[in-house]
């Protein structure tokens, strides 16, 4: 048994040993009833005193993970497992199978990662190889060394003021005039969307979304019992000309849109449609929620003015995040809103979850302030552009006839339409067998059946080599389904 010990560390050796053994027991490396080495032999192997090992065993015994039998030794002892819950699961089970990302199961059991050999086009984020992990780690270390006390204080419900100020400046430079007082920091942009839905909508209200659209926004709307009305989109984004009839018929409270590099289609709404959408919404008194999750991740083409930049005050709430560009796990997003909306949203943020992590907010502000965000944006843009081009080339090379896709000018995703006879339901197991997976079109449609022939393919997260191989596999799977 090898236990790495760090003698420089602040944590006593016996606790390091205890931790290692505990994890080995919990992970199943040791089974119940297994005998651990004697304290003398383990102490010898690890070059520590016998007392150190005895202390570690005592801790484990106190936690109920070890049984020490006098004269016989120490045996792994699992706490009696609790009985399984007796209540039947009367709710409809969550459609886990629609999500092939499976970063997490939703029934509370631990993660089961994808098998190694599966090429994953289903992810919702960029490449972990591009994330500025090392730089962010260093900034965290520096804050923990210099400002730990402030970083551990509660802070402002609305968010760390310098970060809000920084965000205001960045957005202003991007053409969205923003003061810090209009920026509300949230626990990720999903949380921002959740707060906005909770604040502005009631069960039974109607929201218009473009089709297809972000799966988790649909999930949230369903959870809050909001009527979802979908409006078609084409390569220039939401078909705004269809809106007047829908507005008249459904009297929506809100229009939710992803105008830049839509999730899942990668499409951008044209400027003319943006202006028309704003005019229509303003006339009807409808709030627009602009989800700009990767708006600044553009690889070619001309950037378009954001809805918020074009709008009258109070008519557009803007949501964005650093998760896609920097580190998904930071869980810091933000929204930009005007006085009345802002006041209501900050009140709800306060009673919903108080503050967001001051430590991470400070690290983010330091990261952005010292000019690293721009650098990171350029770096990610260069890499992801290559990935996009590799996927486009692979799709053109391998796809059977009858498949359709558009080339996005930015973002993370390519949206693929299958030939008439092929559905994702048939394709998914065939693709899995070939060693590739994707996000199913169904989850991006309010009326799921309408997504039965769409796939969202993440090009950003994989290398060109894996993309080439993955698309070849996917194409073989499509052919197999077609030939059945």
User: Of 94 and 249, which CB lies nearer to its own copies in the complex structure?
Assistant: 94
| Among residues 131, 318, 413, 438, the one that binds its own copies under rule CB under 8 A | 131
Helix (H) or strand (E) holding 143: helix 133-146
- Per the CB < 8 A criterion, the answer to whether 288 and 336 are in contact is no
State the nearest-atom distance from the C-beta of 233 to its own copies, in Å: 22
| Among residues 32, 33, 45, 64, the one that binds its own copies under rule CB under 8 A | 64
- The verdict on 420 binding its own copies (CB under 8 A) reads no
In whole angstroms, what is the distance from residue 383 CA to residue 298 CA? 12
In whole angstroms, what is the distance from residue 56 CA to residue 61 CA? 9
| Among residues 43, 59, 208, 319, the one that binds its own copies under rule CB under 8 A | 59
Cα dist from 252 to 131, 212, 239, 243, whole Å: 39, 18, 16, 11
* Sequence-separated (6 or more) residues with CB below 8 Å from residue 61: 67, 68, 74
- The verdict on 453 binding its own copies (CB under 8 A) reads no
| Among residues 162, 400, 435, 464, the one that binds its own copies under rule CB under 8 A | 162
- The verdict on 18 binding its own copies (CB under 8 A) reads yes
User: Of 31 and 82, which CB lies nearer to its own copies in the complex structure?
Assistant: 82
- The verdict on 121 binding its own copies (CB under 8 A) reads no
State the nearest-atom distance from the C-beta of 199 to its own copies, in Å: 8
Contact set for its own copies, span 190-219 (CB under 8 A): 190-191, 194, 198, 202-203, 216, 219
State the nearest-atom distance from the C-beta of 384 to its own copies, in Å: 19
Which has the closest alpha carbon to 167: 398, 383, 335? 335
* Sequence-separated (6 or more) residues with CB below 8 Å from residue 375: none
- The verdict on 116 binding its own copies (CB under 8 A) reads no
- The verdict on 109 binding its own copies (CB under 8 A) reads yes
User: Of 328 and 470, which CB lies nearer to its own copies in the complex structure?
Assistant: 328
As given in the structure block, the two tokens for residue 169 are 């400046």
Question: Residue holding tokens 């996009």?
Answer: 388
State the nearest-atom distance from the C-beta of 295 to its own copies, in Å: 20
Contact set for its own copies, span 241-280 (CB under 8 A): none
User: Of 144 and 229, which CB lies nearer to its own copies in the complex structure?
Assistant: 144
| Among residues 120, 265, 346, 462, the one that binds its own copies under rule CB under 8 A | 346
Which has the closest alpha carbon to 132: 464, 372, 463? 372
Q: How many CB atoms lie within 10 A of CB 212?
A: 26
User: Of 74 and 158, which CB lies nearer to its own copies in the complex structure?
Assistant: 158
Rg (CA), the chain: 26
| Among residues 353, 386, 406, 469, the one that binds its own copies under rule CB under 8 A | 353
Contact set for its own copies, span 71-100 (CB under 8 A): 79, 81-82, 85-87, 89-91, 93-94
| Among residues 67, 157, 227, 276, the one that binds its own copies under rule CB under 8 A | 157
| Among residues 33, 47, 152, 421, the one that binds its own copies under rule CB under 8 A | 152
Contact set for its own copies, span 169-188 (CB under 8 A): 169, 172-173, 177-184, 186-188
State the nearest-atom distance from the C-beta of 200 to its own copies, in Å: 12
Cα dist from 370 to 136, 180, 320, 366, 376, whole Å: 12, 18, 20, 6, 12
Which has the closest alpha carbon to 34: 79, 2, 80, 66? 66
Stretch that binds its own copies, among 22-30, 114-122, 263-271, 466-474 (CB under 8 A): 22-30
- Per the CB < 8 A criterion, the answer to whether 460 and 386 are in contact is no
Beta strands in 277-327 (DSSP E): 287-291, 316-321
Stretch that binds its own copies, among 337-345, 402-410, 411-419, 446-454 (CB under 8 A): 337-345
State the nearest-atom distance from the C-beta of 69 to its own copies, in Å: 22
In whole angstroms, what is the distance from residue 353 CA to residue 350 CA? 6
Which has the closest alpha carbon to 179: 348, 308, 336, 367? 336
Contact set for its own copies, span 369-408 (CB under 8 A): 369-371
State the nearest-atom distance from the C-beta of 405 to its own copies, in Å: 27
In whole angstroms, what is the distance from residue 115 CA to residue 435 CA? 9
Q: What are the b/e assignments for 190-204, b being 16+ CB within 10 Å?
A: bbbbbbbbebbbeee
Which letter does DSSP use for residue 464 in this model? H
User: Of 218 and 481, which CB lies nearer to its own copies in the complex structure?
Assistant: 218
- The verdict on 21 binding its own copies (CB under 8 A) reads no
Cα dist from 401 to 394, 406, 411, 418, 474, whole Å: 14, 15, 26, 9, 13
- The verdict on 305 binding its own copies (CB under 8 A) reads no
- The verdict on 293 binding its own copies (CB under 8 A) reads no
User: Of 238 and 461, which CB lies nearer to its own copies in the complex structure?
Assistant: 461
State the nearest-atom distance from the C-beta of 322 to its own copies, in Å: 13
């Amino acid at each position: 048994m090898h236990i790495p010990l760090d003698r420089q560390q602040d944590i006593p050796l016996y606790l390091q040993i205890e931790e290692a053994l505990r994890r080995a027991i919990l992970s199943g490396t040791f089974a119940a009833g297994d005998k651990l080495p004697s304290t003398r032999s383990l102490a010898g192997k690890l070059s520590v005193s016998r007392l150190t090992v005895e202390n570690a065993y005592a801790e484990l015994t106190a936690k109920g993970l070890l049984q020490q039998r006098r004269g016989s030794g120490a045996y792994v002892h699992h706490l009696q497992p609790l009985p399984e819950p007796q209540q039947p699961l009367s709710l409809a089970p969550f459609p886990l199978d629609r999500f092939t990302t499976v970063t997490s199961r939703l029934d509370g059991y631990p993660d089961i990662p994808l098998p190694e050999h599966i090429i994953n086009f289903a992810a919702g984020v960029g490449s972990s190889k591009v994330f500025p992990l090392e730089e962010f780690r260093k900034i965290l270390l520096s804050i923990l060394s210099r400002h730990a006390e402030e970083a551990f204080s509660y802070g402002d419900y609305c968010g760390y003021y310098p970060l809000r100020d920084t965000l205001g400046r960045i957005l202003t430079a991007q053409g969205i005039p923003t003061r810090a007082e209009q920026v509300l920091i949230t626990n990720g942009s999903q949380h921002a969307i959740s707060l906005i839905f909770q604040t502005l909508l009631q069960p039974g209200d109607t929201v218009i979304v473009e089709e297809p659209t972000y799966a988790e926004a649909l999930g949230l709307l369903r959870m809050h019992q909001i009527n979802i009305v979908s409006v078609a989109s084409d390569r220039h984004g939401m078909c705004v000309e269809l809106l007047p009839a829908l507005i008249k018929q459904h009297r929506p409270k809100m229009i939710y849109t992803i105008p830049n590099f839509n999730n899942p289609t990668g499409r951008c709404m044209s400027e003319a449609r943006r202006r028309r959408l704003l005019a229509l919404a303003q006339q009807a008194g409808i709030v627009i929620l602009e989800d700009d999750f990767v708006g600044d991740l553009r690889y070619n083409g001309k950037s378009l003015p954001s809805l918020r930049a074009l709008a009258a005050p109070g008519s557009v709430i803007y949501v964005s995040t650093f998760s896609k560009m920097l580190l998904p796990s930071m869980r810091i997003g933000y929204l930009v809103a005007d006085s009345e909306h802002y006041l209501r949203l900050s009140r709800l943020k306060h009673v919903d979850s108080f503050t967001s992590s001051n430590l991470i907010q400070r690290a983010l502000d330091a990261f952005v302030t010292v000019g690293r965000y721009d650098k990171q944006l350029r770096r990610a843009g260069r890499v992801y552009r290559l990935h996009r081009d590799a996927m486009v080339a692979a799709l053109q090379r391998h796809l059977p006839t009858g498949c359709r896709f558009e080339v996005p000018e930015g973002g993370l995703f390519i949206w693929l339409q299958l030939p008439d006879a092929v559905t994702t339901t048939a394709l998914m197991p065939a693709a899995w067998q070939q060693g590739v997976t994707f996000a199913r079109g169904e989850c991006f449609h309010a009326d799921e059946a309408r997504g039965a022939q769409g796939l969202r393919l993440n090009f950003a997260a994989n290398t060109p080599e894996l993309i080439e191989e993955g698309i070849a596999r996917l194409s073989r799977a499509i052919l197999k389904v077609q030939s059945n």
